[in-house]
Amino acid sequence: MSDTKNKTTQSSAFDKKLNDFFIMIAGLWQFQWQFVKQIFMPPYEVEQVRKHMDELGIKTLPIVSVTGFIIGLVITMQMHPVMVRFGAEAFLPGAVGISIVRELAPVITALIFAGRVSSGIGAELGSMRVTEQIDAMEVSGVNPFKYLVATRVFACTFILPILTVYVIFIAFLGAYIAVVLVQNMTYQYFIDSVIKSVTFGDAIPGVLKTFVFGFIVGIVGSYKGYTATNGTEGVGKAATTAVVVSSLMILIFDMVLVKITLWLWPTI
């Protein structure tokens, strides 16, 4: 009897979670359409977008710098013995460069950006929602979606690719230092090897997909914050779930985008 009751409770909890998940997907879909519709309608909040880009860029710059440097350093140190095993030490800079440009820099920068920015947007908008600041804005004749959400999503979409390009260069610096540590290689040889191995065909899809990742971070963080309920508890939940959902979506979209890239350009 008690077993049946437990199973029923577990099943209804699962049903509720599944239901919540589909509600969230539908909500995100509507939310992004609203964004698409509103960005083309005046007034254009250029000043707000610039302000958010400044803030988001400055906020994430230190952490992505450290991470980019360490990634470049560690991936080179890890790959060195493998390349030695195959007698391909000379290809080390090229192999590291391709890994960084194609996958590591875009995805890791996006994940760090999600952790830092998506939660921040979720908490900020969530707090504004539960303290009626968004209602105050709406009732004063200002479109809060455009002023608060569209500007943040736009800023995230365009600042992440810039950060990614920056992280690629920082990671190369880390990689160069590792190369100097593990094998005697000149700066000139390192640069030449990277330039010879890494083509625009590697760099362009890698950087382009970060526009999608930036959009995901902005839209998920904004959606979670904008629809927050239940006071301070709701704000905390909005911040946490924003990070989890945006990180997961980045990884899923990465998989899909890599597949699409390889399907469209099989030779790259």
Partner 1 sequence: MNKVVEIKNLSKSFDSLNVLRNVSLTVEEGENMVVFGQSGTGKSVLLKCIVRLMEPDSGEIYIDNKDVLAMNLKQLNDLRKDFGFLFQGAALYDSMSVRENLEFPLIRHFNYTPEEREAKVKSVLEKVSLEEAIDKMPSELSGGMKKRIGLARSIIIDPKLMFYDEPTTGLDPITSKEISLLILELQKSLKMTSIIVTHDLLCAEIIADRAIMLNDGVIMKEGSISDLKSSQDPFLRNFFSHEIIQEHNRRV
- Placement of tokens 């009732």 in the chain: 139
Angle, alpha carbons 64-117-238 (nearest 5°)? 145
CB-based burial label for 178 (10 Å; 0-12, 13-18, 19+): buried
| Cβ 152 vs Cβ 128: under 8 Å | no
Name the minimum Å distance from CB 138 to partner 1.
6
- Placement of tokens 């990884």 in the chain: 251
Q: In the set 57, 91, 138, 236, which binds partner 1 (CB under 8 A)?
A: 138
* Residue 142 touches partner 1, criterion: CB under 8 A: yes
- The span of 60-68, 76-84, 137-145, 154-162 binding partner 1 (CB under 8 A) equals 137-145
Q: In the set 11, 19, 131, 232, which binds partner 1 (CB under 8 A)?
A: 131
Q: Distance between CA atoms of 164 and 207, rounded to whole angstroms?
A: 7
Q: Distance between CA atoms of 96 and 190, rounded to whole angstroms?
A: 11
Site for partner 1 in 213-232 (CB under 8 A): none
Name the minimum Å distance from CB 127 to partner 1.
8
- The span of 4-12, 75-83, 89-97, 120-128 binding partner 1 (CB under 8 A) equals 120-128
* Residue 87 touches partner 1, criterion: CB under 8 A: no
- The span of 97-105, 127-135, 180-188, 225-233 binding partner 1 (CB under 8 A) equals 127-135
* Residue 36 touches partner 1, criterion: CB under 8 A: no
* Residue 143 touches partner 1, criterion: CB under 8 A: yes
Q: Distance between CA atoms of 244 and 143, rounded to whole angstroms?
A: 28
Q: In the set 2, 4, 140, 184, which binds partner 1 (CB under 8 A)?
A: 140
Angle, alpha carbons 68-70-73 (nearest 5°)? 110
Q: Distance between CA atoms of 67 and 111, rounded to whole angstroms?
A: 11
SS3 content of the chain, % helix, strand, coil (to 5): 90, 0, 10
For partner 1, give the closer residue by CB, 78 or 131: 131
Name the minimum Å distance from CB 92 to partner 1.
48
* Residue 132 touches partner 1, criterion: CB under 8 A: yes
Residue of 248, 249, 94, 85 lying closest to 172 (CA atoms):
94
For partner 1, give the closer residue by CB, 125 or 153: 125
* Residue 20 touches partner 1, criterion: CB under 8 A: no
| Cβ 34 vs Cβ 27: under 8 Å | no
Q: In the set 20, 135, 192, 233, which binds partner 1 (CB under 8 A)?
A: 135
Q: Which residues bind partner 1 (CB under 8 A)?
A: 124, 127-128, 131-133, 135-143
